[in-house]
């Protein structure tokens, strides 16, 4: 299916995606087109002589070309992405894709991979991370491409690809026959995302990438009164350089956007869709302070320390709370404050939902918001921790308790003010 995309939108999304992926570049200058063209003529075309490489196919109105360089600026790899049927995968096989996409899924095409040197696997992983995050940002449900038959098992097992056609009779002048494969995001498992380094939040057996990406829109658009009360209480303690651990769509950042007490805000979250929405919202709010978001695990973040930090309703999904708390402790400046809020076992979602329904019953995203909340909190592995256990944990990593109570969410939320 041809996508309702334009070059400007794709490049804008790519810029955001590649801000979190070091190494991959997008061709934007004619000089780079010529360099990549010469690189492909030197290495790629001899392998596939039926594919004629020239400047006209490197970077078109309906495709983009990516590349990497080594330490001295020598090109080491390339790959292309298109949103026009037939530009990378021949039209006859894109018709086969349409037959397989019974749900009328939209797809990006990827191809013209060429990686020179010893870093093939690491660069391939880098490219796939880029493809997956770009597709998520654009709202695309599938990626389609041609792969060499000898590499098919790798794509089936490691990359979790669906094989649409095993023998296409396409060789492009080489000795290898190509297969047609597709990656469907609603069927990719957590092992694939973990391999990419973009596991979407916490316990991979329970909280999958799709759980959090599906939740992102309703989470961003729906705001209950109890959520507002909690957020407003938390921001009273925040100042200086603020870290938001498990930031979701950065609602704390929005509240802090006009605060003169705050120099900077950095939100950290493992859901790419949450981060994508957060970036748009923070740009639109035009903050007076410096604001940004970081895609990745909390425990993998190693930026500058924060004066104050906050984590609201994220703890319950952490697979190793002590390890995450310990890392957060290392990211808070001595004398700094950390606000931690997480549901406990007395959380009554039925009561909260009854209250929220009165104000949000006509909201178009409320039903999905409610369903996702019930699914996440009622999951058997959701860590609804008692206050006494939580206090023991935060003290064990070094935090001091300044205050703690259960005044929010009708008693179903532990709220702690911690200091270092």
Q: Using CA atoms, how far apart are residues 249 and 278, in angstroms rounded to an integer?
A: 4
Long-range contacts formed by 405-410: CB under 8 A, 24+ apart:
406/344, 406/346, 408/226, 408/229, 408/230, 408/233, 408/341, 409/226, 409/230, 409/343, 409/347, 409/352, 410/226, 410/348, 410/351, 410/352
Does the pLDDT of residue 67 top 80, yes or no? yes
Tell me the angle at which helices 349-360 and 225-235 cross, rounded to the nearest 10 degrees.
100
Q: Using CA atoms, how far apart are residues 130 and 117, in angstroms rounded to an integer?
A: 20
User: CA torsion, points 164, 142, 132, 276, in degrees to nearest 10?
Assistant: -170
Kindly report which listed range (29-33, 80-84, 120-124, 300-304) carries the lowest average pLDDT score.
120-124
Do 238 and 314 share a domain, yes or no?
A: yes
Do 161 and 247 share a domain, yes or no?
A: no
Q: Would you state the pLDDT for residue 24?
A: 92
Beta carbons within 8 Å of 284's beta carbon, 6+ residues apart: none
Share of the chain above pLDDT 70, in %: 81
Do 168 and 220 share a domain, yes or no?
A: no
Among 100, 98, 88, 148, which Cα is nearest to 124's? 148
Q: Would you state the pLDDT for residue 8?
A: 87
> 228 in helix, strand or coil?
helix
What's the rounded mean pLDDT across residues 367-393? 74
Does the pLDDT of residue 207 top 70, yes or no? no
Tell me the pLDDT band of 191, cut-offs 50, 70 and 90: low
Measure Cα distances from 208 to 137, 182, 203, 241, 359 in Å: 17, 20, 7, 31, 30
Q: Using CA atoms, how far apart are residues 40 and 57, in angstroms rounded to an integer?
A: 11
Structural domain harbouring 401: 209-419
Q: Using CA atoms, how far apart are residues 25 and 14, in angstroms rounded to an integer?
A: 10
Cα 292 off chain centre by: 15
Among 310, 371, 377, 369, which Cα is nearest to 343's? 377
Is residue 194 in a domain? no
Do 261 and 371 share a domain, yes or no?
A: yes
Is residue 169 in a domain? yes
Do 158 and 17 share a domain, yes or no?
A: yes
Does the pLDDT of residue 201 top 60, yes or no? no
- In terms of Cβ atoms closer than 10 Å to its own Cβ (0-12, 13-18, 19+), residue 51 is middle
Does the pLDDT of residue 56 top 70, yes or no? no
The total of other beta-carbon atoms located within 10 Å of residue 147's CB is 21
Q: Using CA atoms, how far apart are residues 10 and 231, in angstroms rounded to an integer?
A: 34
Q: Using CA atoms, how far apart are residues 79 and 68, in angstroms rounded to an integer?
A: 9
Q: Using CA atoms, how far apart are residues 368 and 340, in angstroms rounded to an integer?
A: 26
What burial letters (b/e) apply to 405-414, b meaning 16+ CB within 10 Å?
eeebbeebbb
Do 70 and 120 share a domain, yes or no?
A: yes
Residue whose tokens read 């003010």: 417
Is residue 285 in a domain? yes
Do 239 and 169 share a domain, yes or no?
A: no
| C-alpha radius of gyration, the chain, whole number | 24
Q: Would you state the pLDDT for residue 104?
A: 55
Do 160 and 252 share a domain, yes or no?
A: no
Beta carbons within 8 Å of 273's beta carbon, 6+ residues apart: 136, 212, 213, 216, 217
Q: What is the CATH number of the domain that holds 129?
A: 3.40.630.30
Among 311, 352, 313, 317, which Cα is nearest to 332's? 311
Look at phi and psi of residue 214 and say left if phi exceeds 0, alpha if psi is from -120 to 50, else beta.
alpha
Do 153 and 268 share a domain, yes or no?
A: no
Does the pLDDT of residue 406 top 50, yes or no? yes
Please write the tens of the pLDDT for every residue from 289-342: 999 999 888 988 988 999 999 999 999 888 788 889 999 999 999 999 999 999
Q: How many domains does the chain have?
A: 2
Q: What is the CATH number of the domain that holds 291?
A: 3.40.50.150
Q: Bridge-partner residues for 242, per DSSP?
A: 265, 308
How many residues can be counted in the chain? 420
The total of other beta-carbon atoms located within 10 Å of residue 288's CB is 12
Do 221 and 137 share a domain, yes or no?
A: no
400, 318 Cβ separation under 8 angstroms: no
Q: What is the mean pLDDT of the chain?
A: 82
Do 160 and 226 share a domain, yes or no?
A: no
Cα angle 220, 225, 230; round to 5: 85
């Amino acid at each position: 299916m041809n996508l309702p995309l334009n070059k400007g939108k794709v490049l804008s999304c790519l810029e955001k995606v590649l801000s979190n992926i070091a190494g991959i570049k997008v061709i934007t200058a004619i000089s780079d087109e010529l360099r990549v063209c010469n690189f492909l003529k030197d290495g790629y075309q001899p392998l596939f002589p039926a594919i004629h490489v020239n400047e006209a196919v490197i970077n078109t109105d309906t495709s983009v070309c990516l590349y990497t360089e080594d330490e001295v600026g020598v090109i080491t790899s390339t790959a292309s992405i298109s949103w026009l049927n037939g530009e990378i995968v021949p039209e006859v096989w894109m018709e086969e894709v349409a037959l397989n996409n019974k749900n009328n899924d939209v797809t990006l095409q990827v191809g013209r991979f060429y990686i020179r040197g010893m870093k093939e696997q690491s660069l391939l992983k880098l490219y796939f991370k880029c493809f997956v995050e770009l597709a998520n940002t654009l709202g695309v449900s599938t990626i389609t491409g041609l792969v060499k038959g000898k590499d098919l098992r790798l794509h089936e097992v490691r990359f979790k690809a669906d094989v649409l056609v095993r023998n296409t009779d396409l060789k492009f002048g080489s000795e290898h026959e190509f297969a047609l494969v597709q990656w469907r995001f609603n069927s990719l498992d957590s092992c694939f995302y973990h391999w990419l380094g973009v596991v979407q939040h916490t316990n991979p057996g329970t909280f999958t990438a799709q759980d959090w990406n599906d939740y992102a829109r309703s989470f961003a658009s729906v705001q209950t009164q109890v959520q507002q009360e909690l957020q407003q209480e938390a921001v009273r303690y925040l100042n200086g350089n603020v870290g938001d651990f498990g930031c979701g769509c950065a609602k704390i950042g929005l509240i802090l956007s006009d605060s003169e007490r705050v120099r900077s805000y950095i939100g950290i979250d493992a859901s790419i869709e949450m981060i994508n929405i957060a970036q748009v919202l923070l740009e639109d709010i035009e903050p007076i302070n410096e604001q940004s978001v970081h895609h990745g695990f909390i425990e993998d973040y190693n930026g500058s320390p924060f004066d104050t930090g906050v984590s609201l309703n994220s703890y319950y999904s952490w697979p190793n709370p002590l390890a995450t708390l310990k890392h957060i402790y290392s990211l808070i400046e001595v004398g700094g404050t950390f606000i931690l809020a997480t549901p406990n076992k007395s959380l009554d979602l039925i009561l909260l939902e009854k209250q929220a329904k009165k104000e949000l019953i006509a909201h178009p995203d409320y039903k999905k918001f409610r369903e996702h909340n019930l699914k996440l909190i009622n999951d058997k592995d959701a860590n609804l921790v008692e206050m006494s256990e939580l206090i023991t944990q935060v003290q064990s990593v070094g935090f001091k308790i300044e205050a703690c109570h259960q005044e929010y969410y009708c008693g179903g939320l532990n709220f702690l003010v911690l200091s270092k």
